[in-house]
Amino acid sequence: MKKKLLVVALLALTLGACSNKGESNVRKDDKIQSMRDYDSVQGVVSPKRKVVIAEFKNQTRFGSRRLGNNLTDVIITELVKSNRFIVLEREDLAKVMQEINFSNTLGQGQLASERKFQDADYVITGAITKYSVNTTGNKGVISTSKTQRAEISFDMKMINVRTGEVVLSDQGEGVSDVEYSTTLGVGTTGGYDEGLEQEAFRAAAIDVMDNIIETVDKTPWMANVAKVSGNKLYINAGRKSNVEIGTKLGVYKQGEKIEFNGKFLGFEENKVGEARVVDYLGEDAAILEYKGEAFTIPGVVKLMK
């Protein structure tokens, strides 16, 4: 279930009998942590998915390119914190995105048909559609207060690299407030809190994270066969991907890509046997004991129920 998050920090200076020192009640981190239903402490059942995050573009009139970079970095952090994803480098994807228009199905299919990019399971891309920072205040005879607020909204979509299908379109929203107050002239009106923007970004990222995880969990986990050597297979997922020793996998020979009316639908797949994870090869690969028909790569393995 999506949640609209409001991150609030109250910074109040009160007039006391013994001291006029400001007192702070900061609740940003605690609030955000309590809303992370996907936190890694809940554990992970299936192997991790590999995802590439494209730089989010800033489509608002305010801010600069740094807003997109900041939001991208926050989303990456939250994906890693969920302990369900491996985030891959973006360098290769950046080159591809200059040639592919992600707003049309053909472009997404082109990405999927490029086998060299299938080390990733998903691509997440999007744009900031709203960004605002404003200040409001009330001035009375005894007390004065000022509230600063940062708001952000972004649109995102997640693409299954193997099929080119947009499996999730969503919107994230985040708000962060900080309030300053004075009583009988004692206290502070405060300067701009630069942490507001970052907290609003984080709240917006958390807003979409549950739906990302739910969408991914509906898709069977897969990995590529990197090498076939007799009754041994080597796949591009291992210890880092949380692939456990003893895991049973179906093995499929991957054939030609399938298209219909210019739309990429996927690759031909023929099950040729089954395999079991028996050892790791470094952190990013695993060795499988294979039983089945002889085949040559490309091939994939899928988690068996």
- Model confidence at 21: pLDDT above 60: no
Helix 65-81 with 195-217: angle, nearest 10 deg: 50
Residue 195: partners with Cβ closer than 8 Å, 6 or more residues away? 28, 176
Residues 270, 253: contact at Cβ < 8 Å?
Answer: yes
At 2 the pLDDT is 55
At 9 the pLDDT is 42
Q: Residue 85: which of 1, 234, 218, 209 has the closest Cα?
A: 209
Q: Residue 52: which of 197, 158, 181 has the closest Cα?
A: 158
* Residue pLDDT, tens place only, 137-181: 666 545 566 677 888 899 999 988 777 788 999 999 888 777 665
DSSP string, 10-47: EEE----SS----EEE--HHHHHHHT-TT-GGG---SP
Model confidence at 182, pLDDT cuts 50, 70, 90, reads low
Tokens of 228: 């076939």
* Residue pLDDT, tens place only, 201-221: 888 999 999 899 999 988 889
At 120 the pLDDT is 81
Tokens of 255: 């054939």
Task: From residue 36, give the alpha-carbon distance in Å to each of 1, 44, 129, 158.
Answer: 12, 14, 24, 20
How many H helices and E strands in the chain? 5, 15
* Residue pLDDT, tens place only, 64-90: 667 888 889 999 999 998 889 999 876
Model confidence at 251, pLDDT cuts 50, 70, 90, reads very high
Residues 137, 143: contact at Cβ < 8 Å?
Answer: no
Tokens of 237: 């997922």
Query: What is the dihedral sign for C-alpha 169, 221, 112, 55?
Result: positive
222-303 adopts what CATH topology? Thrombin, subunit H (2.40.10)
SS3 165: coil
- Model confidence at 301: pLDDT above 90: yes
At 24 the pLDDT is 30
- Model confidence at 289: pLDDT above 70: yes
My answer on whether omega of the bond before 220 falls inside 30° of 0, hence cis, is no
Query: What is the dihedral sign for C-alpha 230, 236, 239, 244?
Result: negative
- CATH level 2 (architecture), domain 5-217: 3-Layer(aba) Sandwich (3.40)
Residue predicted with more confidence, 100 or 245: 245
Q: Rounded to whole angstroms, how far apart are CA atoms 36 and 80?
A: 12
SS3 62: coil
Residue 245: partners with Cβ closer than 8 Å, 6 or more residues away? 277, 278, 279, 280
Q: In DSSP terms, which residues pair with 157 in a beta bridge?
A: 125, 169
Residues 193, 148: contact at Cβ < 8 Å?
Answer: yes
- Model confidence at 26: pLDDT above 80: no
- Domain spans, the chain: 5-217, 222-303
At 30 the pLDDT is 39
Residues 203, 175: contact at Cβ < 8 Å?
Answer: yes
Q: How many CB atoms lie within 10 A of CB 239?
A: 16
- Within the chain, residue ranges assigned H as helices are 28-34, 65-81, 91-97, 105-113, 195-217
